[in-house]
């Protein structure tokens, strides 16, 4: 049986979950096997051949449960292709200052593993 791609996400107001589900749908449409799961429900990477890790940003950093997941699973993640995505609202520009600023959001995770790809998406604020 072919192995799956894990799309794990950390969210507070849902936008990262929405994008994780959209990414999963695209991977499945491309003929791959993929599943989206809240990172807090992933206990290990058994059965996965690659991972997409996504988090919302609070106070200039990925949510702690995602950084903790990377720390706890550093060896397994280092042995497979991993992509990062980040949902955020500040530092959205294409200028070097904005790019350097948002790069800090994932710096802790990048200190532990090197993603094969990394993207940043404009998120949303839920006024409620
Ligand atoms: C309390 C709070 C702090 C935030 N801090 C940042 C920040 O430092 N930088 C940023 O770009 N976005 C920041 N945001 C915006 C969120 O990252 C953005 O709304 C994201 O889409 C939330 O993801 P979620 O819906 O998956 O929780 C903040 C939002 C809130 C409510």
What CATH number has the domain bearing residue 87?
3.40.50.360
Give 81-110 pLDDT, tens digit per residue: 999 999 999 999 999 999 999 999 999 999
d(CA 101, CA 60): 9
- Residue 128 in any domain: the answer is no
Domain of 60 in residue numbering reads as 4-122
Q: How far is the CA of 12 from the centre of ligand 1 (A)?
A: 9
Pocket of ligand 1 contains residue 87 by CB under 6 Å = yes
Give which of 128, 124, 92 is closest to 15, Cα–Cα: 124
Greater model confidence, 3 or 111: 111
Average pLDDT over residues 35-39: 98
Neighbouring C-beta atoms of residue 128, cutoff 10 Å: 4
Count of structural domains within the chain:
1
Pocket of ligand 1 contains residue 124 by CB under 6 Å = yes
Lookup: tokens for 43 = 């206990």
- Residue 127 in any domain: the answer is no
Q: How far is the CA of 128 from the centre of ligand 1 (A)?
A: 14
DSSP for residue 43: -
- Residue 49 in any domain: the answer is yes
Pocket of ligand 1 contains residue 123 by CB under 6 Å = yes
């Amino acid at each position: 049986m072919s192995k799956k791609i894990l799309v794990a996400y950390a969210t507070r107001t849902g936008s990262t979950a929405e994008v994780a589900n959209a990414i999963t749908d695209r991977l499945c449409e491309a003929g791959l096997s993929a599943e989206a799961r809240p990172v807090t429900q992933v206990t290990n990477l058994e059965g996965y051949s690659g991972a997409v890790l996504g988090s919302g940003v609070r106070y200039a950093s990925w949510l702690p449960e995602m950084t903790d997941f990377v720390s706890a699973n550093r060896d397994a993640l280092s042995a497979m292709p991993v992509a990062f995505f980040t949902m955020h609202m500040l530092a959205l520009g294409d200028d070097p200052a904005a790019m350097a600023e948002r790069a800090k959001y994932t710096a802790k995770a990048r200190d532990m593993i090197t993603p094969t790809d990394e993207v940043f998406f404009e998120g949303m604020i839920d006024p409620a």
